[in-house]
Amino acid sequence: MIMDRFGKKVSKYPKLTIVTVVVITLIAMGSIQIFGIEQEFSEESFMPDMEIAIASDEISMNFTTSASVSILVKSKDDDVLTSDNLVEILQIEKNIIEDSTIIPVLAIPEMPSANVNSVADIVAQMALLQQNITVPTMDQKIIMIQNMNDEQVKQLISVILSSDQTPIEVKGIFSMILTKDFNPIQGEFKAKGSMIIINLDPSSAGASNGIMGQSDFSEIEKKMDDIVKDTKSECTEMTVMGSSIIMDEIMEANTASMAILLPLAFTLVIIILAIIYRSGIDMMFSLIALGFAIIWVYGFGSALGYTFNPMTTAVPILIVGLGIDYGIHITMRYREEIRGGKKIDQSIVITIASVGMALLLATVTTVVSFMSNLASPINLLGQFGVLCAIGIIGSFVTMTTFVPACKQLRDNRRFKKGKIRDIGSNNNHSENRRSKMKNVGEKVLDKTMSSGAVAAEHHPIIVIIVVSLITIGAVVVSFQLETTFNFEDFLPDDLEISKDLDYMISEFGISGGMAEEVNILIKGNIADPELLRVMDETISNMKDDKSVIKKVDEPDVQSILSVMKDWATNTTLYGVQDANYDPDFETMYYSIMTGNGVPSQGTTKEDITNLYNWLYSNTKSIKAVQYVLHKTDNNIYDSSVLRISVNVDSNDNKAIEALQNDLNKDKTPLDYSADKVIVTGGSILTKVIMDSLNESQIRSLIITIILSLIVLTIVFWYKWRSITLGLITMTPVIFCVAWTLGTMFLVNIPLNMMTITIASLTIGLGITYGIHITHRFLEGIEKNSMKNHFPFIIKARCPNCSEIVSVSGKPSEVVRVTCPKCATLGKVLFKKPTSATSYIDDVCRSTVTNTGTALFGAAATTISGFGLLIFALMPPLQQFGGITALTILYSFLASVFILPTFLVLWAKWKQKNNRFDH
């Protein structure tokens, strides 16, 4: 077969093989040098390739977006509504908005104090308005609050909230930016925490596209963070809760995790290999091959333009855990062939042809499981799958070429120098001595492994019933698994910012002090009067939507209708002139619009266009209109957006689904007038991403099962003319999928950005052990069916010196043996099978016992490798590592203790029907 020819090529040209692997590695290193390794991680990275996500991206690109930075304020005496607390808040605000770096990026740089929303700012302004100071400075605000006592502060807040002159927007700020313990209805004018909101202009940064980029935000937020940390506060604790700061913390944790995990992984592998190999040279060959595979991942990943992020942190660990398995199987089988009396070159060919074929099948199924992530609409999952696939292919190639070639060259050189004697004889003294040393450690392990064969031989039905019941129970509970999507989950739990995020979620009615925004993107001729009328109807339909925030019983929606009406309405508050008002625009507006804010009958598209043109040409109104209306380079108004303020728990999927259904129903009038209407943004987009994650898991699982089954069926049909062997090999691993998901529910681990891949991963990783067991079992069956009796190996003890000798023979055969230690001659009688099918039980027992050490070592290495991820700083990586390690354990146990039952039943059925013919 293919691996037989492959093995002969490696054995014939070992030096060329090594050079080829090294050259590929150098190419990968060159790719890293040329393209570099980019690191990036943001919520946008997880946007699926779907209409709703594309619409959200279109809104970000085509419309002026609002931007703000939140600062969490926690009072040390559990009440921020005191004079001392408010003064410290105002002092922080003053230091921020007067900084020369921050002023240019404020939403209204000419009026820095107008860019701040906080309770302290509102209280100070209202107090100063009573003294007819309409445009106060920050110093005036601070002095004003300093001159007030705590009782006066609380009394003024009560007046502000009860006054009819106070705009509903101002009253709403109190409930949004104060903790939930603030309850004015019951007379509780006390709050242990608050938020400061600093409004920025995303178009003010010097980015090439005129939009503030991630790096710009990062610098601004870091500057604010420095200011907050440098400002002495005695009454409050403040933290800048900027998204860029959170992202930087995640990336720092990612880098720190890599610095911890990779050395730990290699150290652990060295320890395990030292125990299994007991040879420093063999260990070195495997580690070098492993290093090559990791370099290939980063080399080809950088050439493909992939960015590396916390998700890909698991890839090198995965390669270490899985790749070293290949090295263990190759090395242990090679030693077995040498002990069996094969020559070096012959042992290399047999090793690659036999174990290599099993490894090839395992590689194909594992690669299929990873590549199935390409079916996901979320590109980051696809990239993760491709990188893992490259690593697995690299591990397979290096372990089946570089390692055998190195061993062949080294052993040939040692043989020529006389350091290895009697190669080609089954009486190699050094190998028998090593076998004696190993016998002590392997005896208990082999006995434990053989229990799977005993169960298959004596209690097959009981095994199947017990496994089926456990699997059914696991399937039932797995349907209750939750799916979460929040990139902030990657923050280490012990960071202060993580604790502050938890504080915000638990203590504020609206997380972050700001209402969440959901959008409706409208595409079509926005200058059409009829479209504006149905837009107004759509907004009116939102009045009974439970999650839509209301202002004076009207939905809180920003639209082109609200912007036009705002500029046509003069609202004077406490003697302060309305900055968003123009008398000329008012005249134009009411000449074609009704008092309800919709176009009058007879209004033309040209009339509406004139209103839009005025707003676009006015320097004061252009930002507001660009926020909700898009104009093309050809001066065509082709799209608009409704920005809807909602208050919905991001973890309440039923509430989010209800909101989505409500808005889809509300927009029905628009569906008939606009070219396209799409509900997107906020928690609705998040829910779509979570649904995409679930769908991608199911899709990946189905693809992995089908393709793996096809591959295994083709191979087993070609060799054994059996269409069921592929399914038999996969069945225990499919059980493991249910066990793993059921365990995740029991230990309260959700399906998230990392663990969502676990189902297909279970098939891809777990099938490896099943393939090795099945392949070795079939080797035994093949030997028996070809010669009509089964040759096997037993351990014989020399009666003179007690030396243990491995002897190969056939049933009823008498084999002459010469003790390698004392040269005593002896005979060994091999017993005849007691029944027609007893040799099948012998094959099963031999398979599990002889494969046990390699499988156990490989599983232990992989489990340990993934288990190291629990030391990662990021919770999703910890969960992924723990669950994947558990998956490997389940797969190993299923392959050793459950799969033999199915194989024995299959073999006995074939034997009964005389279908072992070739």
Asked whether 751 and 697 are in contact (CB, 8 A), the reply is yes
pLDDT at 560: 96
Of 416-430, 506-520, 698-712, minimum mean pLDDT range: 416-430
Q: What is the mean pLDDT of residues 438-461?
A: 62
- Most confidently modeled range among 205-214, 318-327, 429-438, 821-830: 318-327
Burial class (CB in 10 A: 0-12, 13-18, 19+), 525: middle
Could you please report the per-residue DSSP string of 669-697? HHHHHSSEEEEESHHHHHHHHHHHHHHHH
Per-position b or e across 184-207, b if 16+ CB within 10 A of its CB? beeeebbbbbbbbbbebbbbbbee
- Beta-bridge mates of residue 827: 816
Class of domain 428-502+724-790+833-918: mainly alpha
CA distance 532 to 593: 11
pLDDT given at position 47: 78
| Percent of the chain whose predicted confidence (pLDDT) is above 90 | 36
SS3 725: helix
Buried b (16+ CB within 10 A) or exposed e, 589-607: beebbeeebbbeeebebeb
**Residues constituting the chain:** 918
Name the pLDDT band for 535 (thresholds 50, 70, 90): very high
Q: Where is pLDDT greater, at 401 or 218?
A: 401
Counting residues of the chain whose pLDDT is more than 70, the rounded percentage is 88
- Going 339 to 342 to 348 to 351, the CA torsion angle's sign is negative
> How far lies 60's CA from each of 66, 282, 410, 627, 787, in Å?
10, 56, 61, 10, 73
Strand pairing partners for 349? Answer: none
pLDDT at 524 over 60: yes
The phi, psi pair for 531, rounded to 5°, reads -65, -40
Residue 857 confidence (pLDDT) above 90? no
Residue 854: pLDDT band (50, 70, 90) is low
Q: What pairing do the DSSP bridges indicate for beta strands 38-39 and 307-308?
A: parallel
Q: What b/e string do you get for 692-714 counting C-beta neighbours within 10 Å, with b at 16 or more?
A: bbeebbebbbebbbebbbebbbe
Q: For 233, what's the count of Cα atoms within 13 Å in the CB-facing half-sphere?
A: 26
Backbone angles phi, psi at 638, to 5 degrees: -105, -10
pLDDT for 528 equals 96
**What rounded mean pLDDT belongs to the chain?**
84
Domain spans, the chain: 1-36+279-426, 64-240, 428-502+724-790+833-918, 531-548+561-688
The CATH number that domain 1-36+279-426 falls under is 1.20.1640.10
At 524 the three-state DSSP class reads: coil
* φ and ψ of 14, to 5 deg: -65, -40
Judge whether residue 207 has pLDDT over 70: no
The maximal CA–CA distance of the chain, rounded, in angstroms, is: 119
- Span 15-25, mean pLDDT? 96
- Is the pLDDT at 223 greater than 70, yes or no? yes
Interatomic CA distance for residues 683 and 695, integer angstroms: 18
- CA-to-CA distance for 877 and 373, rounded, in angstroms? 18
Cβ(536)–Cβ(596) below 8 Å: yes
Identify the band that residue 779 occupies on the pLDDT scale cut at 50, 70 and 90: confident
Mean pLDDT of 475-496: 83
Taking only Cα atoms into account, the Rg of the chain, rounded to an integer number of angstroms, comes to: 36
Higher pLDDT, 438 or 539: 539
Residue 866: band (very low, low, confident or very high) from pLDDT cuts 50, 70, 90: confident
Confidence of residue 870 (pLDDT cuts 50, 70, 90): confident
Predicted confidence at residue 917, as pLDDT, reads 47
Among 401-405, 758-762, 883-887, where is mean pLDDT lowest?
A: 758-762
Lowest mean pLDDT across 58-62, 179-183, 750-754, 819-823: 819-823
pLDDT in tens, 327-378: 888 998 898 888 888 888 999 999 998 888 888 888 888 899 889 888 888 8
Give the mean pLDDT of 26-53: 84
Give the mean pLDDT of 312-323. 84
Structure confidence by residue, pLDDT tens digits, 383-400? 999 999 999 999 999 999
Q: What is the mean pLDDT of residues 43-50?
A: 75
The whole-number pLDDT of residue 751 equals 87
Give the three-state DSSP class for 572. Answer: coil
pLDDT confidence of residue 132: 84
Q: In this structure, are residues 97 and 112 in contact, taking their beta carbons and an 8 Å threshold?
A: yes
pLDDT at position 431: 45
pLDDT band at 444 (very low <50, low <70, confident <90, very high): low
pLDDT tens digit sequence for 686-725: 888 888 888 888 888 889 889 889 988 988 888 777 888 9
Q: What is the pLDDT of residues 87-113, one digit of tens each?
A: 999 999 999 999 998 988 888 888 888
CA distances from 648 to 518, 652, 658, 676, 815 (A): 10, 8, 10, 26, 80
**Which pLDDT score is estimated for 792?**
55
Average pLDDT over residues 891-898: 88
pLDDT for 92: 95
Q: What is the pLDDT of residue 906?
A: 87
| Token code pair at residue 746 | 């029991």
The confidence score (pLDDT) of residue 435 equals 46
Q: What is the mean pLDDT of residues 142-158?
A: 94
pLDDT at 557: 94
Q: What is the pLDDT of residue 19?
A: 97
pLDDT of residue 295: 96
Cα-Cα-Cα-Cα torsion 228, 230, 232, 237, nearest 10 degrees, comes to 40
Are the beta carbons of 248 and 232 closer than 8 angstroms? no
Q: What is the DSSP string of 821-885?
A: TT--EEEEEPPPPSSTTHHHHHHHHHHHHHHHHHHHHHHHHHHHHHHGGGGSSSHHHHHHHHHHH
Residue 617 burial (CB < 10 Å; 0-12/13-18/19+)? exposed
pLDDT band at residue 918 using 50, 70 and 90 as cut-offs: very low
- Check if 1-36+279-426 and 428-502+724-790+833-918 are the same fold: yes
Q: For the residues 21-38, what does the mean pLDDT come to?
A: 94
Give yes or no for residue 432 having a pLDDT over 60: no
**CA proximity to 311, closest of 887, 885, 890, 879:** 879
pLDDT for 818 beyond 50: yes
Span 542-557, pLDDT tens digits: 999 999 988 878 899 9
Helix ranges (H only) for 278-308 are 280-303
| Each residue's pLDDT tens digit, 571-617 | 765 555 667 888 999 999 999 999 899 999 999 999 999 999 999 99
Q: Which of 11-25, 79-93, 640-654, 658-672 has the lowest mean pLDDT?
A: 640-654
* Nearest-angstrom CA–CA distance, 405 and 13: 8
Instruction: Give the contacts of 94 (CB within 8 A, at least 6 positions apart).
Output: 138, 139, 142
Bridge partners for 632 per DSSP: none
H or E segment at 400?
none
